[in-house]
C-alpha cells in the first residue's frame, strides 16, 4: 500500500487488487477534522449485504449510536435521470474509517474482516505521511477551512454579544423610564395631597397614605363609593382630580375619607359627625 502524490486517494498494494477499487479511501471534512472516509454504499456492495442500502445504513446508525458530523457525513445527491441504480435524490454517506471498521466487524464474515484489515492499513500509511496522508495543497485547504470556521464562530460570538448588549441597554432604558414615571406619579400624588390638605380634602388613596394605611384598588374603589354616597347625602361637594393611573378620581373632605376608610378596614369610627 502507498500514498499517491497526485491524488487524494490512499493506494494499497493488496493481495486482493479489487479492494482499492471497490473501497477507495478519500479525505473529507467531518466536523472540524479532515479524516479518511469511505463511501458506505461501496461498503454495502462489498459486503454483499442483501438488505437494501437505505434500510441497512439507518439501522446500523441507530443500533450503534453513530453520530452525524462526528462519525459520518451525509448529503442528498440528485441521481442521473437515466440511472436506475439509486433512484432520485439519493442520500450519500461517507464514514470515518473507525465507523467503517466497526460496520465490517459486526458483519462477521470473511469480506468484512478483509475490508477491516484494509482500512487499518490505510490508517497506518496516512499516519506515516508527512501531512496525514493528504496532498500539501489539500493540507493547506484544510487549514484554510478550519480558519474560516473559526472566524465564523468568532463572528457569531461577537454578534450574539452585541445583541445581548443591545438587549441589556434596552432593559436598562425601560427600567429607567419606569422609575422616572413612578417618580413623576409620586410627585403628582404629593402635590395633590398638599393641595387637598390645605382645603381639607383628600383622595381615598392619598388619605390612606397620609394615615399609613395599606389598601388595594378594590378597597380604594369601595371606600370611594361610600364617601361619594355620604357626600351626596350631606350635600357636600365632591372635587374631581386627574390621576395618571385611574383617570379622574374623587377628592373628599378628610373626615369623610377617614370614615369610609375606617369602614372598609373595620376600624372604630366616632359617628357624631355624620349623625
Domain interval for residue 128: 2-134
**According to the per-residue pLDDT averaged within each range, which of 74-83, 194-203, 260-269 is highest?**
260-269
What pLDDT shows up at residue 60?
94
Q: Are residues 48 and 98 in the same domain?
A: yes
The residue-averaged pLDDT of 20-32 equals 88
* pLDDT number for residue 32: 81
User: Region 120-139: what's the mean pLDDT?
Assistant: 71
Identify whether residues 111 and 13 lie together within a single domain.
yes
157 located within any domain:
no
Identify the band that residue 4 occupies on the pLDDT scale cut at 50, 70 and 90: very low
Domain limit, last residue, from 106, 134, 162: 134
Looking at the structure, tell me whether residues 184 and 130 fall in a common domain.
Answer: no
pLDDT (mean) for 36-55: 93
Q: Is residue 147 part of a domain?
A: no
pTM: 0.42
Residue 256 falls inside a structural domain: yes
Q: 454517506: which residue's cell?
A: 93
SS3 271: coil
Are 126 and 249 part of one and the same domain? no
Q: What is the mean pLDDT of residues 27-40?
A: 88
pLDDT higher than threshold 50 for residue 127: yes
Domain count, the chain: 2
Give me the mean pLDDT over the 212-224 stretch.
91
Question: 116 to each of 20, 54, 150, how far by Cα in Å?
Answer: 13, 22, 34
| Mean pLDDT of the region 76-104 | 76
According to the model, what pLDDT value does residue 114 have? 92
Residue 119's alpha-carbon distances to 36, 65, 100, in angstroms, are: 9, 21, 8
**Between residues 154 and 274, which one has the greater pLDDT?**
154
Q: Is residue 149 part of a domain?
A: no
Instruction: Please say if the pLDDT value at position 10 is more than 50.
Output: no
Strands of the sheet with 201-203, listed across from one edge: 201-203, 247-253, 239-243
Last residue of a domain, one of 134, 163, 196: 134
Last residue of a domain, one of 105, 134, 163: 134
Q: At 53, is the secondary structure helix, strand, or coil? A: helix
C-alpha cell belonging to residue 114? 478483509
Alpha-carbon distance 1 to 122, whole Å?
A: 8
Q: Are residues 14 and 124 in the same domain?
A: yes
Burial of 209 per CB tally in 10 Å (0-12, 13-18, 19+): middle
For residue 161, being part of any structural domain is answered with: no
In a shared domain, residues 30 and 114 = yes
Quote the pLDDT of residue 88.
55
pLDDT at 222: 93
CA gap 66, 87 in Å, rounded: 25
Amino acid at each position: 500500500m502507498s500514498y499517491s502524490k497526485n491524488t487524494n486517494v490512499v493506494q494499497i498494494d493488496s493481495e486482493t487488487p479489487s479492494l482499492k477499487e471497490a473501497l477507495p479511501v478519500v479525505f473529507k471534512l467531518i466536523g472540524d477534522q479532515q479524516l479518511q472516509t469511505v463511501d458506505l454504499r461501496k461498503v454495502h456492495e462489498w459486503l454483499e449485504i442483501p438488505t437494501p442500502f437505505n434500510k441497512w445504513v439507518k439501522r446500523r446508525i441507530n443500533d450503534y449510536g453513530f453520530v452525524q458530523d462526528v462519525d459520518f457525513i451525509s448529503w442528498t445527491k440528485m441521481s442521473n435521470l437515466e440511472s436506475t441504480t439509486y433512484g432520485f435524490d439519493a442520500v450519500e454517506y461517507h464514514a470515518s474509517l473507525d465507523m467503517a471498521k466497526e460496520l465490517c466487524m459486526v458483519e462477521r464474515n470473511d469480506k468484512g474482516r478483509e475490508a477491516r484489515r484494509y482500512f487499518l492499513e490505510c490508517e497506518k500509511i496516512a499516519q506515516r505521511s508527512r501531512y496525514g496522508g493528504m496532498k500539501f495543497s489539500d493540507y493547506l485547504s484544510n487549514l484554510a477551512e478550519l480558519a474560516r470556521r473559526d472566524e465564523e464562530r468568532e463572528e457569531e460570538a461577537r454578534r450574539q454579544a452585541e445583541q445581548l448588549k443591545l438587549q441589556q441597554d434596552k432593559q436598562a432604558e425601560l427600567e429607567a423610564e419606569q422609575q422616572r414615571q413612578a417618580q413623576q406619579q409620586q410627585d403628582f400624588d404629593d402635590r395633590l395631597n398638599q393641595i387637598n390638605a390645605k382645603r381639607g380634602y383628600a383622595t381615598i388613596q392619598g388619605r390612606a397614605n397620609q394615615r399609613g394605611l395599606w389598601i388595594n384598588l378594590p378597597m380604594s374603589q369601595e371606600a370611594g363609593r361610600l364617601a361619594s354616597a355620604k357626600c351626596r347625602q350631606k350635600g357636600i361637594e365632591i372635587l374631581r382630580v386627574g390621576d395618571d393611573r385611574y383617570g379622574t378620581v374623587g377628592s373628599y373632605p378628610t373626615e369623610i375619607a377617614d370614615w369610609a376608610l375606617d369602614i372598609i378596614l373595620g376600624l372604630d369610627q366616632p359617628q357624631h359627625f355624620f349623625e
